[in-house]
Structure formats: structure tokens, C-alpha cells
Amino acid sequence: MVPEVSPPMLESGYARESDFINPCVLSWNNLSYAVPGKRSAKNPTGKKVILDRVSGRSAPGELTAIMGPSGSGKTTLVDLLADRISSGDMTGSIELNGAERVTKTFRAVTSYVAQEDTLLGSFTVVETMRMAAKLSLPNSVMMTDIHSRVESVLDAMGLNASRNTLVGDIFRKGLSGGQKRRLSIAIELLSNPSVLILDEPTSGLDSSSAHNVMKFILKLCKEGKTVLCTIHQPSSLVYDMFSNVIVLSEGQTVYCGSRSYMIPHFSSIGFDCPKYMNPAEYFVNLVNTDFDGHVDVTKLVYAYAQSDVKRLLLDQLGVDRITLRHLPDIELRPSSGMRQFSVLMYRNTINNIRNPGIYWIRLFMYFCLSFMVGTMYLSNNDDLTEEDLVPMLFYVQAFLVFMSVAVLPFFIEQRAVFARERANSSLSVVSYVCANFLATLPGIFLIAVMSTALVVLLADLNAIEYFLLNLFLSLVVAESMMHVIGAAVPHYIIGIALGAGVFGMFMLCEGFMVPRDSIPDYWIWGYYLAFHSYSFESFVFKQFENETSPEAQAILKKYGMEDVNVNRDMLLLVAYIVGFQAIFMCILWKFHTGRR
């Protein structure tokens, strides 16, 4: 029950600047949610109902669990409560302390932990926490206070012993599943939220790890936080930790109330939980409509709607609106754009260095291919003619650029981290894109210098400075294009296929396989669209520009490159970079908000 006199509150201003907690009662009444579906005789509106008039409540100091079989609407409910859904049709009300939820205030006092752990494996636990704190806490919080808050949260979540352990990824072993889950929760606790919403906090964990994670979550409740989580099938030990239980089936409420009233309620309607059986397992199986033998869920829904448990809930919602003190006008103030930029610049640079898949493996591949090209076209090979150099220049331009698709999986991994941080701490899209772009340049420059040195010096090519500039800019354009594709596709496999297809088309149209003057009119647009065209013609022109032999002049004439403006081509490559980065920024801003 909520006390008649509300606890003291922060009067106004900004959240996350102190250790003060605004006590918050989160409630929802007659909440329904539908998405577009197929029209039929049974469904003339064409809407698929996911949630149907659900009501509930979670108060400070209470651990409220939402249970139900797969597809029952658990995740949709917490996503709605956490303001993580922007599409579909929602009706009903969501309230904080008895007043209609205000998005600005709600985001200031709430943190959300998604089902998937989106973490960067190249950093230790304490590094991850400190960077997260600098990104989410305002500039008014001193650095000493940030470190102090990090230490207190690490201690509270039992992560001190593994503070210097890498999170881990496909290249190296790191934290266990339970530790990663606790780290994900710890990151959201840095902002000291009054309300913590978690989606499947024990998903994928063994029973021991799940129990330990839930023990730490229960500890947060005792600090006065309002904690709400979905959980699929908890053990009996975990079930006993819950203050309240909500059972959903087919988007409808089968039960919502105190855990201690749950068994008596179902017994009163003829469903006695066996003495030595886990109640959570029994009741979830009872309402699972996917298999034969389930009960008529509509009868359970009706029985709950007519029960004293439901009347008690509705009475309490009415009392909340009268007795609870409404939240003051507070808002989330994140760190400044400059601080976010500096933290992201540091994080991306270190991640690029530590993660072997981003540059080091590619560097080795570029070394091998460049060495092969250089030694195959050695300057003392008298069997080679000047015309033989053109395929080599095409290979350098086309295939070295093509290898940029290898970085797509890591871009998509970082994208998930960005979406989480943007949703929970108002991360600046501009700061992220600028830091991400600048952090990629040193690695690309190193690749370009190494490849240029091997190819140009071994093959004794001309204009080494233009070769380096051209290759560097081409690689940056390709990397920027991968940023766009990585932001636009749902999975890296699709991204690799799309990137390979675009590069394949650009290679075909760049003027080597079919010279520009011979490209059909209906495909000439591909020549002008492909950035490969401007890079390739500059490679060829600078190689033969000062050659006086008839063969060299014939090559330039054959490819229509007698008078190439190299400076213009380099500026066009820069324009491609700016354009791709702008598109990348727009896609992130529009589609990667952390909401669905």
C-alpha cells in the first residue's frame, strides 16, 4: 500500500545530478495496443490486437514480475510502459504517481534494460561504466563524483571482483552471461533512476546465474526503487522474490496482484497448484494456448475481472490519483555535446585498436594483397608492358576498396550500443557521427600508406603522393558507404550482400571493363554515380601523364583520359565522403532512436 503522506521529492530542475530518488508509482489502466494486420471476415478492422485492456501497478520497494507464455504480450507491455514504442495504436492511460505520464519527466526518472546485452567487448567492466557515466551524467557532476558513483554501483551489483575483466567478444573470453546482465543493469543504474524496467533479465542464464541477478535486482527494490520486469519461467527461488505478479495470455490479464494472493485466487476458481510444484511454472503452463490441454483463457480472464484482487487494484489506482504527490517538473539533462564527442572519440579509437576485426585483420589482408601486386608487377620484369599496368591499377582501386565490406558486422554491433545509449541518455547523433568518422581515419590512413608503399615502390609507379591521396580518399568513401549500409540494414549478412552488389556494379561501370565512350547510354549514369570512376581515372592519368611513349598516349586515348582534372576528382571523392556521412547521420537520427 502507498502511504497516505507522500515521501519528500526533488522540487524541480534536472534529474541525474544527485543521489536523490523521487518515489514513483507506475500504473496503467485499460491499456490496449494494436498493430496493422490482415483484413478478414473475423477481423474487419484489419488490426492485430497485442494487448487488450490490461491494468496494473508497481510501487517503490516492490518487485513486480510480468509472466506469461511466448507471444502473450509481455515485451510489448514493458516497451509501452518504458516509452519504447512509437508506432501502432495505443489506448488507455499510463500514470506516474496518479498523473498522466509526461514524456520529459518520465524519461528523467526511468531507465530501461533491454533483453539483449549491447556491450562493446573490447573494454573492461570499469572502463565501460566510466564511459557510460560520462555520456549519461550532466557536466555539473564532477569527475570525482562520477568515479564515486561508478564505484558504488559496481559494489552494489557485485562487479568489483571483475572490474578489470574484459566484457569479451568473439575474439576473446570475458564476462559470463550473468555478469554481462548485471553490467547492463549497472549501466542504467548510473543515472540513479526511480523506476527500473527490465525485459527478461534472466534470459539465457542458468538457474544459479538467474538467481544471483534477481537477488541484486531485489536489493534495488529495498533502496526504494520501483522495479518492473518480464520473466518467462522463473525458478521457485526467484518466484518467491516477487512482490507482485502479472500473468498475461493472448494479450489479456489473467492475474495482476500480490504474489501471496495468487495461489488462493486460482484455487477459488478451481485451479489448485500442486503442493511441490513451482507456482510460476504451473500457472504459465495453465494459460499457454500454443498446446493442447490448456484451459479456456477467456474464463480465467473473466474470473480475474470479477475478483476482489481486480477491485483492490482499481481502488488503489483511484487512491493514487488523490493521495500521491505528482512529480515535479524535472527533465533529463545529458552531458554536453563536446563531452560526448570526446568520450566517443576515445572509445571508438580504443575499440578500433583493441578489436582485431576492425583494422588489424584487414591490415594483414591488405599487406598480403599489396605485396602480391607489387611483386607481380616488379619494375625489373621486362615482360610487362605499360598497358599491363592498367589492370593492376584497376585491381588496386576496385578490390582494395571492396574489402571494406569486412567491417560491416562491427558497425552493426556499435549501432546497437548507440541505439541503447540514445534512448536512455539522449546521446547526440552529431557527436556520435563526428567521433565515429574521425576515429576511423588513422586506421584507414595506415592501410593506405602501407598499400601505397608496397605497390608503388615495388612496381616503380609514378606520382606516389597522388597515389596515396587517391587510395586514402577512396578507402574513406568506401568506409563511409559501409556506415550508411550498416545503419540501413537489419542484419550484417544483408549489408555484406548489398555492399558487395553495389561495389560490383561500380567496378563494372568505372570505365575499365568498358571504356567510358563505349558504355551504352542507358548505363552511362552508372559511370557518373560510381566513385570508382573518378578514382580509377586519376590513377591511370597520373601514371601516364608524363610518359611520352606512343603506347602511353594510346592508353590514355583508349580510356578517354587524355585530359583528367585530378584535383576535381579528389574534391568529388571528398564530396562523396561528406554526402555519405550526412546520409548516415540522417538514418541514425530518424530510425535508430531506441524505439520501435
258 - beta bridge partners?
Answer: 244
The structural architecture, per CATH, of the domain 13-327 is 3-Layer(aba) Sandwich (3.40)
Which of these, 246, 234, 197, 202, lies nearest to 51 by C-alpha position? 246
* Across 150-168, average pLDDT: 94
Q: Which of 74-88, 332-346, 447-461 has the highest mean pLDDT?
A: 447-461
Q: Percentage of residues in the chain with pLDDT exceeding 90?
A: 75
Phi/psi zone of residue 30: left (φ > 0), alpha (ψ -120 to 50 degrees), beta? left
d(CA 479, CA 404) in angstroms, rounded, equals 6
For residue 236, count other CB atoms closer than 10 A to its CB. Answer: 13
* Across 401-405, average pLDDT: 93
d(CA 195, CA 176) in angstroms, rounded, equals 26
Tell me how long the chain is: 596
Tell me which DSSP letter residue 91 carries. E
Q: How confident is the model at residue 11 (pLDDT cuts 50, 70, 90)?
A: very low
* Across 335-358, average pLDDT: 94
Which three cell numbers mark 251? Answer: 494479450
Sign of CA dihedral 555, 560, 562, 563: negative
Would you state the pLDDT for residue 544?
94
CA 157 to the chain's CA centroid: 23
**Residue with cell string 571494406:** 404
**Residue with cell string 550484417:** 492
Which three cell numbers mark 134? Answer: 560520462
Which amino acid does the sequence have at 539?
F
For residue 506, count other CB atoms closer than 10 A to its CB. Answer: 23
Which of these, 312, 233, 245, 305, lies nearest to 269 by C-alpha position? 305
Which of these, 21, 20, 88, 97, lies nearest to 50 by C-alpha position? 88
> pTM for the full model?
0.89
d(CA 391, CA 394) in angstroms, rounded, equals 5
196 - beta bridge partners?
Answer: 111, 227
Summarize pLDDT for 14-50 with one digit per residue, the tens.
444 545 567 899 999 999 999 988 877 777 777 889 9
Contact between 348 and 421 under an 8 Å Cβ cutoff? The reply is no
Which three cell numbers mark 494? Answer: 544483408
Helix locations, 43-163, DSSP H: 74-81, 103-109, 125-136, 143-156
Phi first, then psi: give them for residue 66, nearest 5 degrees.
-105, 115
Would you state the pLDDT for residue 21?
66
Q: Is the pLDDT of residue 330 over 80?
A: no
Q: How confident is the model at residue 190 (pLDDT cuts 50, 70, 90)?
A: very high
Summarize pLDDT for 49-58 with one digit per residue, the tens.
999 999 999 9
Strands 47-58 and 26-36: antiparallel
Domain boundaries, the chain: 13-327, 337-591
How high is the mean pLDDT of the chain? Answer: 91
**Alpha carbon distance, N-terminus to C-terminus of the chain:** 34
